[in-house]
Amino acid sequence: MGPVTGGRPVTTWAAASERLGGPLRDLTVRNVVRAGVGGIGLRVRLTNAFGDREVTFGRVYVGVSRAGAVLEPGSNRLVTFGGSPQVTVAPGATALSDPLSPEVASPSDPVAVRAGQRLAVSVYVRGEADTLTGRNRATVPSPAGGEPAVSPAYRSIAGDHAADEGGAAYTGERAVWHWLDALTVVTAEPVPVVAALGDSLTTGVGSETGNGWADLLAHRLDLAVLNEGVSGGKVLAAGTGRPAEERLSAEVLTKPGIGTVILQAGLNDLGAGARAGDLVAAYRRMAATAHAAGVRMIGGTITPYAGAEYHTAEGERARLAVNAFIREKGVFDGVADFDAALRDPAEPCRLLPAYDCGDHLHPSAAGHLAMAAALDPRSMWRDQPASL
């Protein structure tokens, strides 16, 4: 299909990349995600970032999710790559699909994406894929009073079931997105898009509702917030994903339309014994990288964690030093003071009990709500959108 002309490419959904399990062979995975931005010309970006060898995707379809693995009738559309229904992705590479053509759209067709719409991206793996690149702890939280919850992914019985609109072939639910890196659309007007680059707090761990602070921020301000969190992620070292400093340039800033990055990372570094000076130096480099790309960066202070398994007195001193830098040095374009939002005034090294999910590390649902409220929308754009 030919390119969609006019307008601006914008990322409507994205996720961080992690090295997950494997191998998987001759099956179809149905990833369910929620669009953050409406537009036309939907494109799918697949990733083999952590694969040890090339992986072939035999067919890829995009449809509108109805319930579970079931799609809205008539909504499932074949996606092509350079005009071909099949694409082979080398280790460490990504593949961007052709845009879905709007000329043949129907009311239930995913070529005309609506903000908040649940989309299902079904990917058939031809042959064997050794290592899965995806996002762990995936969730598709429903807005307040919204649709029933669904699993973020389903695996099929053997074979190509990408075109199926029913869910009978999809017998296994998974809390993992498989090989799906980003979805983009074209919008006629500029749309504010924010990326949340962080760790398990950003993925929403601790929230009983499944809505983490990044989801709640999107609901609060009615904007697209791309969740680039990795559970266990660090700024200075790799885990299941790349270090956050590397992810900023290799993953986040390669996705179109992002105007602001909110950095919420460093807690796991402190737990591993990182020094404040090393984190501060990394933050400086990350802010410079974002600014060179024309993107604003908001610095998130590191939240209290006394009582958590890896808390130490040295780590607490480093946390206070890093937070003082974030608040005072002017390297960032704004500050999200997550520490002030969550700390117990009577014992500031600890989370307020109402905001503690119970492990003294992750916020409860109320804590995630407090984190979302800590963001000042005026700091996120040079020219604040009128809707905010």
Residues 18, 160, single domain; the answer is yes
SS3 labels along 61-108? EEEEEEECCEECCCCCEEECECCECCEEECCCCEEECCCCCHHHCCCC
Residues 155, 263, single domain; the answer is no
67 against 145, higher pLDDT: 67
Query: At residue 106, does pLDDT exceed 80?
Result: no
Residues 136, 204, single domain; the answer is no
Query: At residue 219, does pLDDT exceed 90?
Result: no
Residues 198, 173, single domain; the answer is no
Q: Give the Cα separation of 354 and 344 in Å (integer).
A: 9
Domain end residue (candidates: 129, 150, 184): 184
378 against 120, higher pLDDT: 120
Query: At residue 126, does pLDDT exceed 90?
Result: yes
% of the chain residues with pLDDT over 90: 79
Query: At residue 382, does pLDDT exceed 80?
Result: no
Residues 160, 268, single domain; the answer is no
Mean pLDDT of 181-198: 94
- Banded model confidence at residue 184, pLDDT cuts 50, 70, 90: very high
| Residue 207 domain-assigned (yes or no) | yes
For residue 255, give the CATH number of its domain: 3.40.50.1110
Residues 326, 352, single domain; the answer is yes
| Residue 201 domain-assigned (yes or no) | yes
pLDDT the model gives residue 329: 77
Residues 172, 254, single domain; the answer is no
Half-sphere exposure of 127 (CA within 13 A, CB side): 12
| Residue 1 domain-assigned (yes or no) | no
- Banded model confidence at residue 289, pLDDT cuts 50, 70, 90: very high
pLDDT the model gives residue 142: 63
CB contact at 8 A, 184 and 98:
no
pLDDT the model gives residue 387: 40
Closest CA to 138 of 247, 231, 2: 231
- Banded model confidence at residue 9, pLDDT cuts 50, 70, 90: very high
Query: At residue 2, does pLDDT exceed 50?
Result: no
DSSP class of residue 355 equals G
- Banded model confidence at residue 6, pLDDT cuts 50, 70, 90: low
CB contact at 8 A, 356 and 367:
yes
Mean pLDDT of 41-69: 95
Residues 154, 199, single domain; the answer is no
- R_g (Cα) of the chain, nearest Å: 20
pLDDT the model gives residue 136: 83
Closest CA to 111 of 94, 97, 131: 97
State the total domains in the chain: 2
Domain end residue (candidates: 184, 204, 236): 184
pLDDT the model gives residue 5: 53
Query: At residue 293, does pLDDT exceed 50?
Result: yes
Query: At residue 388, does pLDDT exceed 90?
Result: no
Residues 26, 78, single domain; the answer is yes
Q: Give the Cα separation of 81 and 96 in Å (integer).
A: 7
Mean of per-residue pLDDT scores for the chain: 91
Residue-by-residue DSSP string for 284-296? HHHHHHHHHTT-E
Residues 178, 198, single domain; the answer is no
| Residue 2 domain-assigned (yes or no) | no
pLDDT the model gives residue 151: 80
Residues 29, 166, single domain; the answer is yes
81 against 329, higher pLDDT: 81
Tokens describing residue 25: 């062979």
| Residue 371 domain-assigned (yes or no) | yes
Tokens describing residue 220: 């609060």
Which domain covers residue 208, as residue numbers?
Answer: 192-379
Question: For residue range 306-316, what is the model confidence (pLDDT) as tens digits?
Answer: 999 999 999 99
Mean pLDDT of 111-122: 90
Domain end residue (candidates: 126, 161, 184): 184
pTM: 0.92
| Residue 386 domain-assigned (yes or no) | no
| Residue 388 domain-assigned (yes or no) | no
Residues 330, 356, single domain; the answer is yes
| Residue 117 domain-assigned (yes or no) | yes
Query: At residue 108, does pLDDT exceed 80?
Result: no
Residue-by-residue DSSP string for 198-266? ESHHHHTTT-TTS--HHHHHHHHHTSEEEEEE-TT--SSS-SSS--HHHHHHHTGGGSTT--EEEEE--
Tokens describing residue 349: 């090294």
pLDDT the model gives residue 287: 98
Range in 98-102, 107-111, 311-315 the model is least confident about: 107-111
Give the DSSP H/E element, type plus range, for residue 338: helix 338-342
